[in-house]
Each structure stands twice: as structure tokens, then as C-alpha cells.
Amino acid sequence: MMILLTSIINTPAIWLYLLALLIIISIIIWKKWYILSKENLFQQKLFWFSIGIPLLSFIYFGVFAWSGKAPILSAHGYSRFYEISKFPLLILASSVPLASIVNNIHRTIQTESQINTSESKNAIDRYLAHEKNFIEKIKEIPSFNIIETNDPNGGIKDNKDNPGYKIAIKDKINISNPYHLYKKIYPKATMEVEASYAHNEEFITKMEDHLNIINKNLERNELDNTLLAPRSISKLNEVSYHTALLLEHLCIENISLATYKLRSGNKEMKTFTDNEYMFLEVLEAAYHISRKIYFLIKGNESPNFENIASYIYDAEPSFDIFANAKLQDSIYSPSWLAYVTKELHVAKSGGNVAAVK
């Protein structure tokens, strides 16, 4: 054994072969030719190396075995060839299991790719089906007619303070962008396999927060004479501002074409109408659309907001502040927030305005 090992070590041809094999392996690793893809097996470089290296090794070692020997086409010649070629043939035979291993790995990669492709297609179909189902349900939510925008002929009323301008661009309130609303409610719904179709609980919470604030500011109390008429401008401003926020949250574009300034004492606010009945109808639309969306998402009715319902269905106006509404601007913006104030303002001397904290 030691003699054989010493003989191998002292043989330059072995070292030359090992060096060449090491260089080839290094190039394969450097070029990353060992990486298999889902393409055809014959396009995999590693497959050709699994065949080529044993074949070249067979020829290389065969040269030493066949050197000085003439081929004889006879039974004895074939037997002799086999005897002297056992080692080269053994190396050549190694190409079969090597190529088979590469083929099996490649087949696994192809199968995995097919599974991933199928899962990706299913994920896309699932997303599109879920989105389509939601949009169709959203479209079933009826538009709300804002009756106070109509003149006796059924058209949009003219702005009495600015002839030539209408008070609104349309007489209906509806969800303007259901696709945007879908992404707000289902932010993790994507075309990816790992997509989640759980609704965003923060969307519900935010909607309820606006309704709670509106409901609180519409509360009536006999002790401060607001049972029939909550005249506080601060309450009205809170209701106006959070109604605008609620409409924005529900992806409902503004319909008003003017902003109006309301004043009580030295406190000022602005809102989207000078008509409390129109104000009430806009709030009603926001309230009912939010309840329908809540049911669509959760599958059950939303909590009741009794003060809102009471205000909506009270036949008489409750905020007499609307009586002194003044036109501020004839403008249009799709955002309701352009028509309201977050905080009341106090008009100071010289026309300067400061927020009331």
C-alpha cells in the first residue's frame, strides 16, 4: 500500500490530472456553473460537466493504459482491452450516477418551479377574485341624493351669493374610488403567495373614532338648554371637521363648490355649506355609508350612534349658527378637508387670525 501511494505521489501525470481537476472545479465555482435552473437539462452546464469530466478522465488515464498496444478485434483482444481499461472504464462509468444526480436535482427544481408558478397564479386569481367581489359589493351601496342641492327643476341650485356658480358639482354622494378603499381596508392583500386577506382593524377603529366624536358633539342636555338646539359653534366645528375626515376615510370625494364662514361672537369656522339641511344630508350619507361598509367588513351591524340618528331625523335645524353663514370662496377641491377648519379661529384687530386652543 505504501509503495502504491509513493508511486502515485511521485507520478507527475497524477499531479497534472489533479491540478487540472482543481482548476476546472474552481472555474465552476467561480462562474457559478453549479447552479441549476428550471431551463432544459441540456442547458445546464453542470450536467455537461458531470459527463465531460469522467469522459476526459477516461481518455486521459486510458492513454497510459493503451500506450504501446495495438487494437486487436478478437475475443482475446476485447478481453485484454477490458483488463487494461478497468480503471479508465470505472471513471467513465461514474458519469452515469453523476448525471443521474444532476438530473434528479434538476427535476426537483423544475417541479418546485411548477409548484411556485401554480401558487403564484392561484395567488393572483385569489387576489383578483377577492378584489372583484369587494368592488361589486361596494357598488351595491346606493348613492345618497342630497336633496338640498336641487332647484325646483331638478338641477343643481345656483349659488345665491355668487351668480353663475352652482353650489355643488352633483347632487349625489357615493364612494368615488372603491379600489383605493379596498387597499385601505385590506392593505396586506396582494398578488403574492403570502398575502393576507384579514381586514385592517385600524380602518374600523378610525371610522368609529370619527363617529364617536360626532356623536358626542351632538349630545343634548336639558341643563344647558341644548336639548332642542345645540347652538355651540365649537360643537358644530367638531361635527363639520370629523364629518369631512369620515368622508375622506371612506374615499368619498367632495361635491361642494363653495366654502362658507360661520361666526359666533369672535369665533369663526368654515364649512362646506350655508344650509343646515344640506349639512345634515351630507352627515347622513357619511353615517349610513360607514355603517354599510362596517357590515360588509365585519358581517354584523355597527354600534348605534343615537345622537347622530336623533340629529339626522330631527325635523328642525339644531344649529342656528347657519343663519349668519357668509360665502368665503367659490372653489372646488376633491378633498373635503379644504372646506372645514380643524380648530375655531378668533378674528383679531388688523384682520389677523389666531387658532383657539
**Dihedral-angle region of residue 325 (phi above 0 means left; psi in -120 to 50 means alpha; beta otherwise):** beta
Count Cβ atoms below 10 Å from residue 3 Cβ, excluding itself. 7
Q: Which of 115, 136, 167 is the last residue of a domain?
A: 115
* Alpha carbons within 13 A on the beta-carbon side of 212: 8
CA–CA distance, 42 with 39 (Å, rounded to integer): 8
Tell me the residue range of the domain where 42 lies: 32-115
Are the C-beta atoms of residues 306 and 215 closer than 8 Å to each other?
A: yes
220 located within any domain: yes
Is the domain of 170 the same as that of 92?
A: no
Determine the average pLDDT of the residues in 120-132. 92
Give the 3-state secondary structure of residue 312: helix
Lowest mean pLDDT among 102-111, 198-207, 297-306: 102-111
Q: Write down the pLDDT at residue 280.
A: 93
Whole-angstrom Cα distance, residue 70 to residue 147? 109
> In whole angstroms, what is the distance from residue 57 CA to residue 68 CA?
19
- Name the pLDDT band for 78 (thresholds 50, 70, 90): low
Return the pLDDT at 260.
Answer: 94
Count structural domains, the chain: 2
Q: What is the pLDDT at residue 6?
A: 52
Average pLDDT, the chain: 82
Could you tell me if 320 and 253 lie in one domain? Answer: yes
* 23 found inside a domain: no
pLDDT at 4 over 50: no
Q: Which range scores top for mean pLDDT: 58-72, 118-132, 152-166, 198-212?
A: 198-212
* pLDDT at residue 223, rounded to an integer: 53
Q: How confident is the model at residue 336, as a pLDDT? A: 96
Per-residue pLDDT, 252: 95
- For the chain, what percent of residues have pLDDT higher than 70? 86
Q: Are residues 259 and 328 in the same domain?
A: yes
Give residue 72's region: left, alpha or beta (phi > 0; psi -120 to 50).
beta
Give the bridge partners for 345, in sequence order: 268, 355
Maximum Cα interatomic distance, the chain, rounded to a whole number of Å: 125
Q: How confident is the model at residue 77 (pLDDT cuts 50, 70, 90)?
A: low
